Amino acid sequence: MTTPTSNIKTAKDYATDQDVRWCPGCGDYSILKQVQSVLADEGVKTEDTVFISGIGCSSRFPYYMNTYGIHSIHGRAPALVSGLRSVRPDLSVWMITGDGDSLSIGGNHLIHILRRNFDVNILLFNNEIYGLTKGQYSPTSPSGQISKSTPMGSIDHPFNPLALCLGADATFVARAMDRDPKQLRSILAAANNHKGTSLVEIYQNCNVFNDGAFFVYTEKQSKPQSTLFLEHGEPLVFGEGNTKGIKLDGFKPIIVDLEADGVLKDELWIHDKHDQVKALMLTRFFDDNQNAENALPRPFGIFYETQRGTYEDALHEQLKHAREIKGEGDLDKLLAGTNTWEIN
């Protein structure tokens, strides 16, 4: 969403005096830092900004932002955001949530805020685990995950969060990670500039209960061949030195070796963030076994972005229209109604 700007500030100006209470090494620290610096870069005013979260480790976030903030109840942040934006479209609103908070208990509010398209930036910290309650599996944990509540492995088929969000007609969908601050910042800035609900899924390492869940994407050794960085208008390339690409064979994405197979870049799938069908296909690059031969890499970046009117704009339009046709409400007339009589 677009936001009011102010005098130059630095990331530090967005920090509070409260001790940050995440475990040492937690991925949340990096995300906090990037958010603070993006707010500084974008010149967002602290007094016009509200961070709203649910419950979870990640949901402590608002306490560390020198803005207005609510640490609400588990899963319900989208509801609070909807109410706040309905009455205060002038504010910059950010929502912080975890994979349990937004996809387990809060799944319904999430899909409803996406379809209504309130103007808010949603940062979904996905660590594929319940951190705050000490290590139960979450709706994004892969099947077979051993956790406190699944000592023999989880038997749930996990959500594909971005596929779900597109199914709910989201207007901005992106994926980032805690350990790639640069891309994270650029996505956050884009989210901030999108008018409507922007959903950014951020892979976040919980080094205490699910350490390394995303190492295959974040660590040097495996990152090149398992990640695919999406750039609007650019071909899908990845691998060490970007030597691999993805081509479409009808509806089937196939991996090609740019050097060995001699495929040209412009024969590759060119990323178009405005194409919903292609975005849907990209969300399906979701093979659970990233170590499998020929597994599709996991995409990061902006999958999809489109313009659709926001709920609050439509709401304000409707009020304006009502005033135009009926005139500003007159309370005394309203109280009197249409039929009155006198008793003397």
Partner 1 sequence: MEKTLELKKEVTILFAGDSGDGIQLTGNQFTNTNALFGNDVSTFPNFPAEIRAPQGTVAGVSGFQLNFGSLDLFSPGDMADVLVVMNAAALKANIGNLKTGGTIIANSSGFDKKNLRLAGYGDENPLQARSLDKYRVHEIDVTKLTRSALVDSGLGTKEIDRSKNMFVLGFLYWMYSRSLETTIKFIQNKFKGKQHLIDANVKVLKAGYHYGDTSETFTSRYDVKPADLPKGTYRNVMGNQATALGIVAAAHRSNMQLLYASYPITPASDILHELARHKNFGVKTFQAEDEIAAAGAAIGASFGGALAVTASSGPGIALKTEAIGLAVMLELPMVIVNVQRGGPSTGLPTKTEQSDLFQALYGRNGEAQVVVISAHSPSHCFDAVYEACRIAVEHMTPVIFLSDGYMANGSEPWAFPKSSDLKPIKPKFAKPLENVEEKYLPYLRDEKLVREWAIPGTKTLEHRVGGLEKEKDTGNVSYDPENHEHMVKTRAAKIAKIADYIPQQTLAAGEMDGDVLVLGWGSTYGAIKTAVNELIAEGYKVAHAHLTYINPMPNNIEEVLKSFKKIIIPELNDAQMVNIIRSKFLLPAIPYNKIQGLPFTIQEIKAKVLEILNA
Ligand X SMILES: Cc1ncc(C[n+]2csc(CCOP(=O)(O)OP(=O)(O)O)c2C)c(N)n1
Site pattern 87..126 for Mg ion (x: CB under 5 A):
-----------xx---------------------------
* Rounded-to-integer distance, Cα 280 and Cα 309, Å: 21
**Sequence-ordered list of residues with C-beta below 8 angstroms from that of 45, at least 6 positions apart, any chain:** 3, 4, 5, 6, 92
**Contact with a second copy (CB under 8 A) among 13, 37, 40, 107:** 107
Nearest approach, Cβ of 173 to Mg ion (angstroms)? Answer: 19
Q: Binds 129, which of ligand X, a second copy, partner 1, none (CB < 5 to 8 A, cut-off by type)?
A: ligand X
3-state DSSP call for residue 51? strand
Burial of residue 90 (CB within 10 Å: 0-12, 13-18, 19+) is exposed
Contact between 209 and ligand SF4 (CB under 6 A)?
yes
145 to 184, contacts with ligand X by CB under 6 A? none
- Residue 15: strand pairing partners: 65
Nearest approach, Cβ of 63 to partner 1 (angstroms)? Answer: 5
Give the torsion through C-alpha atoms of 50, 306, 42, 99, to 10 deg: 50
118 to 177, contacts with ligand SF4 by CB under 6 A? 127, 131
- The alpha carbon of 60 is separated from its chain's Cα centroid by a whole number of angstroms, namely 17
**Contact with a second copy (CB under 8 A) among 87, 146, 155, 254:** 155
Asked whether 42 and 194 are in contact (CB, 8 A), the reply is no
Select from 51, 26, 44 the least CA-distant residue to 132.
Answer: 26
Nearest approach, Cβ of 96 to ligand X (angstroms)? Answer: 9
- The alpha carbon of 179 is separated from its chain's Cα centroid by a whole number of angstroms, namely 16
Site pattern 127..166 for Mg ion (x: CB under 5 A):
x---------------------------------------
Contact between 81 and ligand X (CB under 6 A)?
no
Q: Of 23 and 248, which CB lies nearer to ligand SF4 in the complex structure?
A: 23
Q: Binds 74, which of ligand X, Mg ion, a second copy, none (CB < 5 to 8 A, cut-off by type)?
A: ligand X
Asked whether 303 and 283 are in contact (CB, 8 A), the reply is yes
Residues that bind ligand X (CB under 6 A): 55-58, 74, 98-101, 125, 127, 129-133, 138
Residues that bind ligand SF4 (CB under 6 A): 22-23, 26, 28, 57, 127, 131, 206-209
